[in-house]
Amino acid sequence: MTLLDRALEKSENLFSDGEFITKLSSLVSLVTDSKNSMSNDDLTNYYSKGLLGILVELGIQTKIIDNPIKNCPPFLIGTRIESPKLKTILLYGHGDTVPLQQGQWNDGICPNELKIIGEKIYGRGVADNKGQHLINLLALRSILKTRKKLGFNLKVIFEMGEEIGSPGLFELCEQHKDYLKSDVLIASDGPRVAIDVPTLFLGSRGAINFELEVKYREGAHHSGNWGGVLRDPGVRLSHALSVIADKNGKILIENWKPTSLTAEVRDRLKLLPSTISETLEIDENWGEPKLSANEKLFGWNSFSILALGSGDINIPVNAIQPSANALCQLRFVVGTDADKIISSLRDHLDRHGFEDIKIITDNAINFEATRTNLNNIWLEKVEGILEEFHGDKIHVIPNLAGSLPNNCFTDVLNVPTIWIPHSYKECSQHAPNEHLPIKLLRDALLLMTNLYWYLGDND
């Protein structure tokens, strides 16, 4: 048995002896809802009670850093330097989650108590992101226990505010740029393209949330006494939304259309399976015409209305409402001028006669769009290692369809980013019944053990 075989066996045994389940259970039991946490101490517990043990095992010198932004969650950073001559890999993860959504899960499932049903593991954070960064840490531990070294230097960043827009992460990277200096970021988040094929992506779509508001007066007025002579904010807002995207979801603002869907990107996307999901039927005619489904997801922008309201739909009254609101979002790829998204919207609405529509961007969750160059040497290296272990071609996408704080690494630390997700699209991320199949977790752990082994210096 080779040393690599022994490392893989150690990772395999984490499932057969139950240690992986025990460790993941302990992480899930720590409630880390960054949106509704009572204090930053609740979130910091994830570092001290959740991660510290395995970080110590890995010989990582850690420190908890206060967030540069007041009253925002702290960060954990750390280093393990084996030799200044070796390459340095940066690992990132986030321990915070979306709200538990207690009472909305299937019967018998408590979101902060790990539950195994059949071949799936349920619990808040299993997929996003506790299970994913636990896999990477345990793979590193298997390597270290086997050959007594990693063969590369390791640096880590963990945060507890990704689900609220990663406040302070950009500033943290700026302030600790020298401490975090690395050759590449290798991290895990998001879903695979297909559950049984490893995926690698190089960045993420950006996201900007904003609210549209129409407010004409104080209080509602009887629709019989006033209907026909008072402007209805719901009608006005509905028409305003219709000039942002047409009835089939095509974006109608020219400055919201990207310039980065190049032939190189198209060629990569053509290699992906054309079937987006085995369980959810997509709407072929929705979105930008003449683009494939993968081009729409990974190479184009999408506009969504996240919430829409005027009055109370559960208790309607015969009255003209005083106001109407829509919470909206634009997901955008590189090649979109992010600084002009809101100003372009303002100009577009004004040109169509909707000067009365107010755009509210206060406290919006924003992520920048990023994408490491497809010709990057780290992509070639990691892709080759993953394909050899998998025994076939893997899926490479230019960027995740979702959003991540990837610009903190590419723009501030100036490192290429390689993301290797350990989840799948049907995991119910951000929803009740979040879960992952045990087989996917096991396969991902072996995949990462093999990857870290070959990225290390084996002399």
Check residue 32 and give its pLDDT. 96
**Angstrom distance (rounded) from CA 34 to CA 31:** 9
Write the DSSP assignment of 269-282 as a string of letters. HHTS-S---SSS--
Residue 38 belongs to a domain: yes
Residues 163 and 122 in one domain: yes
Check residue 377 and give its pLDDT. 95
Residues 7 and 73 in one domain: yes
CB 365 within 8 A of CB 209: yes
pTM of the model: 0.90
* Domain end (from 367, 397, 423): 367
Q: The domain that contains 373 carries what CATH number?
A: 3.40.630.10
CB 57 within 8 A of CB 154: no
Check residue 458 and give its pLDDT. 73
**Angstrom distance (rounded) from CA 187 to CA 133:** 8
For 445, the domain range is 3-204+369-455
Q: At what angle do helices 3-16 and 19-29 cross, to 10 degrees?
A: 60
Residue 278 belongs to a domain: no
Task: Please tell me what DSSP assigns to residue 72.
Answer: S
Q: At what angle do helices 130-147 and 19-29 cross, to 10 degrees?
A: 140
CB 153 within 8 A of CB 80: yes
Residues 393 and 300 in one domain: no
* Domain end (from 340, 367, 394): 367
Determine whether 87 is exposed, middle or buried from the number of CB atoms within 10 Å of its CB (0-12, 13-18, 19+).
Answer: middle
* Domain end (from 319, 350, 367): 367
Residues 319 and 425 in one domain: no
Residues 333 and 318 in one domain: yes
Q: Which residues of the chain have pLDDT under 50?
A: none
Residues 27 and 118 in one domain: yes
Residues 254 and 317 in one domain: yes
Residues 174 and 214 in one domain: no
Q: The domain that contains 247 carries what CATH number?
A: 3.30.70.360
Q: What are phi and psi of 118, to 5 degrees?
A: 65, -120
CB 337 within 8 A of CB 331: no
Residues 232 and 267 in one domain: yes
Residues 109 and 142 in one domain: yes
Check residue 58 and give its pLDDT. 98
**Angstrom distance (rounded) from CA 296 to CA 309:** 28
Interstrand relation of 115-117 and 120-122 (parallel, antiparallel or unpaired): antiparallel
- 377's CB contacts (< 8 A; 6+ apart) are none
**Angstrom distance (rounded) from CA 111 to CA 100:** 6
Residues 213 and 198 in one domain: no
Check residue 459 and give its pLDDT. 64
Q: What are phi and psi of 316, to 5 degrees?
A: -70, 145
pLDDT tens digit sequence for 377-391: 999 999 999 999 999
Q: How many domains does the chain have?
A: 2
Check residue 91 and give its pLDDT. 98
**Angstrom distance (rounded) from CA 25 to CA 114:** 5
